[in-house]
Structure 1
Amino acid sequence: MHVLVVPSWYPTTEAPLDGIYFAEQARCLQAHGMDVGVVYPEHQSLRRLAATTFGHKHFQTEWTTDHGIPTLRRYGWNVWWQVPPGLRCRIGSAVRLARKYVDRRGVPDVVHAHSARWAGAAAARVSDAFGVPYVLTEHFSGFQRGSILPWRRPLVDRGLRQASGLAAVSAGLKDALTGREGVVPQDVAVHPNPVRASFFTRPPKGRPSESPFRFVTVAGLNSRKNIGGLIDAFTQAFEASNGASLTILGDGPRRAALEARARRLGVEDQVAFRGQQGRSGVREALWGAHAFVLPSRHETFGVALVEAMATGLPVVATRCGGPADIVTEKTGLLVPPDAPVALAEALCTIRNRWGAYDAECIRAHAVTRYGPAPFVRRTQSFYRRARAA
């Protein structure tokens, strides 16, 4: 089966982890015998604009093999696409890319849009142009946060209504989608994201010694991820103690403020900021930890949680959407979001009960539910039903 993927966000040379899971999903499908391609009208943030980058990216179209997947990109800059005419321009750019894609690789059997943020409307137009069905998987937390701007809603709703198949990556996101006009619960499946189970494995040399007890988190340093709340909770639980440490992987606009917060609270020697890491760096950090923490205010799924569990780590997460589907009593603890006292208590509990968690059981849970095999089965069935409809 030939599948054309249209993602609302995707890895770039300047932001290589943005939408990395879309690329990994495409590669997983390709590895299981499917013919997969991607079209992406790339609109970089002007904050990244420099003479060198503009020299490489000046609104040209280029074929690449990103992540081993045939990919047609149009390189551009985010001048005005966040206003109505600009968003329609981006959608039109995706349709033009799809026409060039078809000229070289033929008409796909199905188009797969990731998020109705804009790719759904683009996929609807591609579907009309070539007479093929499209499916849409939703990942965007804006549906849970109620942050879809009014002028975007007609395009978002078109993408949702016209799809031959709809899925959300968690039950919480499904509930948010089915609150929209014309979207009913029975039309939305729950298709969680997969984990690279062959890459995120148990540590080959075993876990480090229990002292200090090492917590790790992987998150963008922004308000939604609430790393400040995690630092507060860690301080409550382990202030002036050498028995625990916290490693923070990720970068973002709040990094300087968070580092200052750790200093102000007196835990700067226990809290390490490692910055943004590649996949190998994330895996190394997980292998060197005893437990994983995700303190988010909103999560549509929680890829980082599943990756941590695939390495056998118990987890602490907030009931902020997706984690409620993932975390069980055997794999970790759930606490309310924005509740530092409850989070501090959970951190202490995980440390005190760490020996009771079965790493093999945690990994088996992650692989059985979120590994490549169940993902491919769900996705193939998704495509077959869309084509039959």
Structure 2
Amino acid sequence: MSGPVAVVTPWYPSTQLPFRGAFVQAMTEATAPGTASFTVYHCDSWVARLSADEDARIADAVRALMPVAGTPSRTVGGADLVTVPVPMPRALPFAEQARRAAASLKVALGGRPIAAPVVHAHVGLLGGLPALRNMRSDSRLFVTEHATFLDRMLAEPDGRAGYAEVLAACEAFFVVGDPLRAQLAEAFPEHADKLRSIANPIDFATPRAEPVKSLHRWLFVGGLIERKGVGWLLEAFAVCRRQEPALTLTLVGEGELRGRLGERAEELGVADAVTFAGALSPVEALGLMREHDVLVHPSRYETFGVVVVEAAAAGMPVIVTRCGGPEQTLAGIESDAGQLIEVEEDSTAIVAGYEQLRDRFPGGMDLDRARRVLADRFGYQAVARQHHDAWFSSPSADPS
């Protein structure tokens, strides 16, 4: 068994937001076993429109209540979870968000540093800076970047400065995909040697009860927002359903487009075939993957594309855009796993992708092979081994 580990993260699934930080939860489940202890500090932003007086009074109340509220609970992998409330007025700069999280974490720790000799932060600025401000001087800092909004963090001078501070202090800096690695290497060439690629872990333990027999039951999992391409997905579904009335579409997630998507489904005459499942827990979403036939994921940009690999783990083919992460995660097994399509600002590519996949289903793909290859790349054991090798190696060892 290896030594204690602490994780500092701005995102972790909660009752209110069951999706947010699911990849951090998965990393915890994969890597906590085999450590002497594992504690997750979730710096949970409580965002609201606040006056300066309200902000100050809420901060005082949080400080007073933290000794009670900061009691650890048990989470996945046998880890402890400490939820740290971070009062957050709306629209704060990223660096100020990180400073507030650092201050709240200090209160939760009673002014003492994090005890663990290995501290792993998620999200370079929002988790990395709070970790750096609250760790022991002799502890080792590791960071994983997932954020799709990295460019916006670095565009703020204070954000860029804070990010540089974290990069300078950390022993290794993990990214979940090549697009993020390229951004960081360009922004901070002096730290390029610290950058390593370690993917989000995916659970391959539970197989599908029966193989996919048709492509009738479409599934989307993600935020109902513009970046995810969900509007074009609905348009494409309506086109395809005119040719195949048996098609259905389930949308898992919430977001700003929810109301408009419902209205548009009525206008297109497909409302009876579209189910809005709302926000579900990761376990519930994975269950739906095993009950549907094809994941359609027309995102405009992804750093990794967790749901794409989760779908393959669930034994279902995918129709996914070449939007950064997915073409990397599916490299070498594109045709076995499903159909990659181009990012286009209409429904044409999605319709064509579905038709191409349908025309070669099932003989023109090998879902079992795709699942095996992806398990070797992104399964819990593979990702845990990479983390443990980094965390518990000699500090002087070459991290590459």
Aligned partner of 2:310: which letter?
E
2:335 maps to 329
The superposition leaves residues 301-338 of structure 1 with CA deviations (integer Å, 9 ceiling, x where unpaired) of 11111111011111111111211112222212222223
Give the TM-score, by structure 2 length.
0.85
Return the offset for 1:287.
1.5
1:283 maps to 286
Q: Which sections of structure 2, spanning at least 5 residues, go unmatched?
A: 50-57
Return the offset for 1:195.
0.8
Count residues with an aligned counterpart.
Answer: 373
Aligned partner of 1:21: which letter?
F
Equivalent residue for 2:354, pick from 347, 350, 353:
347
| 8 Å contact from structure 1 (residues 239, 266) kept in 2 | no
Equivalent residue for 1:268, pick from 271, 275, 300:
271
| 8 Å contact from structure 2 (residues 207, 314) kept in 1 | yes
Aligned partner of 2:185: which letter?
T
Residue correspondence of structure 1 range 291-370 to structure 2 within 5 A: 291-327=294-330, 328-339=334-345, 340-356=347-363, 357-370=365-378
Residue correspondence of structure 1 range 197-276 to structure 2 within 5 A: 197-198=204-205, 201-204=206-209, 206-207=210-211, 210=214, 213-239=216-242, 241-276=244-279
2:54 maps to none
Return the offset for 1:135.
0.8
Return the offset for 1:233.
2.1
Point out the more displaced range, 148-157 or 170-179. Answer: 148-157
The superposition leaves residues 329-364 of structure 1 with CA deviations (integer Å, 9 ceiling, x where unpaired) of 221222222352122100112222221233322221
Indicate the SS of the match to 1:284.
helix
Aligned partner of 1:332: which letter?
G
1:4 maps to 6
Output the aligned Cα RMSD.
Answer: 2.6
| 8 Å contact from structure 1 (residues 118, 156) kept in 2 | no
Indicate the SS of the match to 1:177.
helix
The superposition leaves residues 171-213 of structure 1 with CA deviations (integer Å, 9 ceiling, x where unpaired) of 1211121121345544311100011222xx3322x14653x71
Point out the more displaced range, 60-69 or 306-315. Answer: 60-69
| 8 Å contact from structure 2 (residues 30, 201) kept in 1 | no
Return the offset for 1:116.
1.2
Residue correspondence of structure 1 range 37-76 to structure 2 within 5 A: 37-46=39-48, 58=62, 60-61=65-66, 62-67=70-75, 68-76=78-86
Residue correspondence of structure 1 range 66-145 to structure 2 within 5 A: 66-67=74-75, 68-79=78-89, 82-83=92-93, 85=96, 87-98=98-109, 107-127=115-135, 129-143=136-150
- Distance in 2, matches of 1:185 and 1:300, equals 18
- Distance in 2, matches of 1:12 and 1:30, equals 19
1:17 maps to 19
Aligned partner of 2:183: which letter?
A
Closer, same or farther: CA 145–151 of 1 in aligned 2, 3 Å: closer
Closer, same or farther: CA 267–285 of 1 in aligned 2, 3 Å: same
| 8 Å contact from structure 1 (residues 301, 323) kept in 2 | yes
| 8 Å contact from structure 2 (residues 220, 250) kept in 1 | yes
Aligned partner of 2:344: which letter?
D
Percent of residue pairs bearing the same amino acid type: 25
| 8 Å contact from structure 1 (residues 175, 185) kept in 2 | no
Point out the more displaced range, 276-285 or 252-261. Answer: 276-285
Aligned partner of 1:259: which letter?
G
Return the offset for 1:9.
1.8
Aligned partner of 1:291: which letter?
V
